[in-house]
Structure 1
Amino acid sequence: MATGSTLDDRIAAVRRFNRFYTREIGFLHEHLHDSGFVLSEARVLYELAQCGETTATELRRRTGIDAGYLSRLLRRFEERGLVARRASPDDGRRSLLSLTEQGRETFAGLDAAARREAGALIAPLTEDAQEQLVTAMAALENALGAGRLDPARIVLRDPRPGDFGWIVARHGALYAEEYGWDATFEGLVAQVISDIVQNFDPARERVWIADHDGIRLGSICLVRQSDEVAKLRLLFVEPAARGLGLGRRLVAECIAFARAAGYARITLWTNDVLTTARVIYAKAGFRLVAAEPRRNFGKDLVSETWELDL
């Protein structure tokens, strides 16, 4: 969220992007890809091509098209020989819809045209710029459809260029927004990351990035404190990914790695206000071993140390 922006500012920014996007993609043209099909018609053909055979109810769910309009559209497709309808063998009251051979050929032409237009749109960009664009588009998709995140598609991977900077930036921004912590916290995270990068021991240390189709949703680090003790650091889960068990999964990954690396104990440092993280630590078997009131990050907090014997 831009610093100092108002709700009206953000609404105006969304509308400005919509105008830009519809102009660049060509949504304002009467027919999509000069095909004779409008956008809603092309979308229905696309969904039928992906589903193979489906019902009108499922098409409404996948497209969001009004039931009456969808019914008329499907009737036109049947009349043109693009869609076939048959009674469901499980329920004779239900109809199953699918593309005919002519419908599949028509969709193939639309799909090829769409690929050409998308390719022409990004062709002037460098490969790095194309990657940035795809990442930004995925971020937009996930932000607006956060409830549709699929836990099964979240992978825990090693860091790539840019990930360490992201860890610092997201910690700084989110903890300021949610807890009112000042810039000294972001500075601490930057120092922790700097130490990890400068002194990294891949045999006994790891950093994990939680990734959903190219979008970073969380992170955690395990670093060597001594030959016997590992330290868990910088557990972070994006708000959009909370409630999916991702925090527990990241902590479990740390514990498994620490055991395999031969550590006898894991320690971590946190603060009392981080209630969700504290619950995760407790359920993973960590125990609170020390607590001390402290002034940290511009707030009066209770600093805590937790430990887990492996």
Structure 2
Amino acid sequence: MTVQEIRAFNRFYTNLIGALDYGKHLYTPYTLTESRVLYELAHAPRTDAADLRLELSLDAGYLSRLLGKFERDGLVERGPSEEDSRRQRITLTTRGREATALLDERSREAVGRLLAGVPAEEQPRLTEAMRTVRDILGELRPDRRRHGEGPVLRDPVPGELGWIVQRHGALYAAEYGWNADFEGLVARIVADFAQDHDPHLERVWIAELDGRPVGSVMCVRDETPATARLRLLLVEPDARGHRLGERLVGAVVDFAREVGYRELVLWTNDVLTAARRIYQRAGFTLVAEKPHRSYGADLVGQDWRLSLQEGTPK
């Protein structure tokens, strides 16, 4: 009975979302597999060919040909991994990120059209059922049984910008006693980003672990020309220990370099010792300090700076 139900569900779902004719629905020149590779490259700041083969279960020869096509089309660049010169690191170019952004936009539109027919009161039940299927069947993957699924970095899905605001407010109140003024500040930052940002020069990352968001960070343009600002770094307490803080900061640094910013800056407070250690390890230098009273607490604000490659964002 279970076998028949799963097969019936597979037929129903693939027909519903048009997975067998991906390009027709998203109006892009990429096949489903090509789109999946681009998605992985966009959502994992440090990806090499071996990672892609493992995550997507692709044949090595097929993946090599596909990446060669992407390289000829100016979508990716290939080079030796910084961690292991025997491995090949794959990074998206500006053109590659534009292509991925288009795919992401079309995919969101397609899912939005699908959900438009689902009553609002039924949508939580639908998402919970899908999460249950993923959690149960995800445990069957041999690589995840051996090593655990592990955290991934990705773009936010609808509702997660609000999650960033809520979790900042709750965590900083619980850990540092900050009042609602801080949550209001985070809400303004997130609202400004949502209302008006350049997707080629500004970005938000969500850290996901076991199917749920557990961290965030943001890269936005600063008022100073050719300068980016790192904002809203957060890692949930129960997700600490996975080096997610380092990965999130590394994602911002890599992105800022790739799009041509000359320097990266951030503002924090001295009580956030774990975050400050992450910034120091990433190469940031403390350039200024100033006492202030904010969020119901006496604090010392700090300005940090990281010099990047030469070049002005286009």
Q: TM-score range by the shorter chain?
A: 0.5 to 0.7
2: CA distance, partners of 1:151 / 1:245: 15
Instruction: Please list every run of at least 4 consecutive aligned residues from structure 1 whose deviation after the TM superposition is greater than 6 angstroms.
Output: 110-116, 136-139
Question: Match for residue 269 of structure 1?
Answer: 267
Question: Match for residue 167 of structure 1?
Answer: 164
Assess if the C-alpha contact under 8 Å between 2:178 and 2:296 holds in 1. yes
Q: What is the CA distance between 1:130 and its match in structure 2?
A: 1.7
Please list every run of 5 or more consecutive structure 2 residues that lacks an aligned counterpart in the other structure.
9-120, 136-144, 309-314
Q: What is the CA distance between 1:113 and its match in structure 2?
A: 8.5
Q: Which of 174, 184, 188 does residue 187 from structure 1 map onto?
A: 184
Question: Match for residue 114 of structure 2?
Answer: none
Q: TM-score, normalised by structure 1?
A: 0.55
Please list every run of 5 or more consecutive structure 1 residues that lacks an aligned counterpart in the other structure.
1-108, 117-124, 140-147
1: CA distance, partners of 2:157 / 2:7: 29
Q: What is the CA distance between 1:151 and its match in structure 2?
A: 7.1
2: CA distance, partners of 1:204 / 1:110: 48
| Structure number with bigger Rg | 1
Question: Match for residue 254 of structure 2?
Answer: 256
Is structure 2 residue 295 aligned with structure 1 residue 297? yes
Letter in 2 for 1:240: D
Q: Which of 192, 197, 208 does residue 194 from structure 2 map onto?
A: 197
2: CA distance, partners of 1:160 / 1:219: 12
Higher relative CO (Cα under 8 Å, sequence separation at least 6) belongs to 2
2: CA distance, partners of 1:299 / 1:245: 28
Q: Give SS of 2:247's match.
A: helix
Q: What is the CA distance between 1:129 and its match in structure 2?
A: 2.4
Q: Give SS of 1:126's match.
A: helix
Deviations 1:64-100 (A, max 9, x none): xxxxxxxxxxxxxxxxxxxxxxxxxxxxxxxxxxxxx
Matches within 5 A, 1:125-274: 126-132=122-128, 135=131, 153-225=150-222, 226-274=224-272
Assess if the C-alpha contact under 8 Å between 1:151 and 1:244 holds in 2. no
2: CA distance, partners of 1:215 / 1:190: 21
Assess if the C-alpha contact under 8 Å between 1:135 and 1:215 holds in 2. no
1: CA distance, partners of 2:134 / 2:295: 33
2: CA distance, partners of 1:186 / 1:138: 32
1: CA distance, partners of 2:148 / 2:199: 27
Q: TM-score, normalised by structure 2?
A: 0.54
2: CA distance, partners of 1:134 / 1:110: 17
2: CA distance, partners of 1:195 / 1:177: 26
2: CA distance, partners of 1:256 / 1:279: 18
Q: What is the CA distance between 1:250 and its match in structure 2?
A: 0.4
2: CA distance, partners of 1:261 / 1:212: 28
Q: What is the CA distance between 1:137 and its match in structure 2?
A: 10
1: CA distance, partners of 2:156 / 2:219: 13
Deviations 1:39-75 (A, max 9, x none): xxxxxxxxxxxxxxxxxxxxxxxxxxxxxxxxxxxxx
Deviations 1:216-260 (A, max 9, x none): 010100001143100000000011110110000000010000000
Q: Give SS of 2:175's match.
A: helix
Assess if the C-alpha contact under 8 Å between 2:149 and 2:210 holds in 1. no
Letter in 2 for 1:256: D
